[in-house]
């Protein structure tokens, strides 16, 4: 992982657009190691949960609320360049809210309906949308295998009402359709190891994987200290996050594979 992930221009772009793409967020070696660890991870195979998408398919995912000393996932979550980037973007100390692996296998990986992450997290006792996620491509993400789609600048709309669709929570479709007429739709096609950081109020979705290729993605979610939830939920309240050297990513991954 590079020691400096953001430029001044990216700070301004995040405020304007609600997202930024970070090329080569992980080095080629780190991206290869993450992919090897994830694809051989027995816990992922055992703990994957399916979410019906309301569009005839389902998405598999594995969610973790804790950080562990012997995990490449936790090493990424705690990596100093990523945590510092999140703090610069959100203008406060951040803590680990949770992380997850999204598993879109060839032909069977379903869609995620249009939603804002804060559409979910609002119900967890978070008063403000001062939260963000970093999605790292484990596999190359393309239109064909169901890459992330975002509506540029939609975070300025504020929180939208969300309704249940299948096992997912989707944004009010009338407002989404109005936003689609006014805002730019961006397909975030990125290679393995690249990342996209996006605001909790950014409208986003992904289509079904209709390709021959998998589309796994690792997502690190952060909340700000001042936004510590006022009540307990399935995700943690504020706990200080210890920043660690990004060099640990490769070191821990090699140990997991040995």
Residue 234: pLDDT over 80: yes
Residue 236: pLDDT over 80: yes
Q: What is the Cα 196 distance to its own chain's centre? A: 8
More confident residue, 257 or 45: 257
pLDDT tens for residues 131-159? 999 999 999 999 999 999 999 999 999 99
| pLDDT (0 to 100) of residue 168 | 76
23 confidence band (pLDDT: 50, 70, 90): very high
Burial, 40: exposed, middle or buried (Cβ in 10 Å; 0-12, 13-18, 19+)?
Answer: exposed
* Mean per-residue pLDDT over the chain, rounded: 95
| pLDDT (0 to 100) of residue 57 | 76
Residue 167: pLDDT over 80: no
Range with the poorest average pLDDT among 37-51, 115-129, 130-144, 182-196: 37-51
Give the mean pLDDT of 201-213.
Answer: 96
* Max intra-chain CA distance, the chain: 52
- Can you name the residues that pair with 170 across neighbouring β-strands? 163
More confident residue, 59 or 171: 171
Give the mean pLDDT of 70-96.
Answer: 98
Give percent of the chain above pLDDT 90.
86
| pLDDT (0 to 100) of residue 117 | 97
CATH entry, 16-257, from 1.10.10.10, 3.40.50.1820, 3.40.50.720, 2.60.120.620 = 2.60.120.620
In the chain, where are the structural domains located?
A: 16-257
Residue 104: pLDDT over 80: yes
Residue 114: pLDDT over 90: yes
SS3 state at 50: strand
Give the mean pLDDT of 210-218.
Answer: 96
More confident residue, 240 or 58: 240
| pLDDT (0 to 100) of residue 45 | 85
Contacts 24+ apart (CB under 8 A), 1-7: 1/25, 1/26, 1/27, 1/30, 1/76, 1/79, 1/81, 1/82, 1/246, 1/249, 2/27, 2/81, 2/246, 3/81, 3/246, 4/81, 5/81, 5/82, 5/84, 5/85, 6/85, 6/88, 6/89
| pLDDT (0 to 100) of residue 111 | 87
Give the mean pLDDT of 77-99.
Answer: 98
- Can you name the residues that pair with 21 across neighbouring β-strands? 196
More confident residue, 11 or 56: 11
Give the mean pLDDT of 69-86.
Answer: 97
């Amino acid at each position: 992982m590079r020691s400096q992930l953001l430029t001044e221009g990216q700070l301004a772009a995040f405020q304007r657009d609600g997202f930024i793409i970070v090329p080569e967020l992980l080095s080629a070696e780190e991206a290869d190691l993450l992919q090897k660890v994830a694809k051989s991870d027995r816990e992922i195979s055992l703990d994957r949960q399916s979410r019906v998408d309301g569009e005839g398919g389902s998405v598999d995912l594995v969610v973790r609320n804790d950080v562990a000393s012997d995990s490449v996932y936790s090493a990424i979550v705690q990596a100093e360049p990523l945590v510092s980037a999140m703090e610069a973007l959100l203008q406060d100390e951040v803590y680990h809210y949770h992380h997850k692996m999204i598993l879109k296998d060839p032909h069977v990986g379903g869609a995620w309906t249009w939603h804002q992450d804060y559409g979910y997290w609002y119900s967890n006792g978070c008063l403000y949308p001062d939260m963000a996620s970093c999605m790292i491509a484990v596999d190359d993400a393309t239109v064909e295998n169901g890459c992330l789609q975002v509506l540029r600048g939609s975070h300025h709309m504020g929180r939208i009402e969300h309704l249940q669709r299948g096992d997912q929570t989707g944004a009010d479709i009338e407002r989404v359709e109005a936003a689609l007429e006014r805002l730019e739709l961006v397909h975030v096609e990125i290679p393995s190891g690249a990342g996209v950081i996006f605001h909790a109020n950014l409208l986003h979705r992904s289509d079904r994987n209709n390709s021959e290729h998998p589309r796994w993605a690792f997502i690190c979610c952060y909340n700000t200290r001042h936004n510590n939830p006022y009540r307990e939920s399935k995700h943690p309240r504020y706990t200080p996050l210890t920043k660690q050297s990004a060099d640990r990513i490769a070191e821990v991954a090699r140990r997991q594979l040995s």
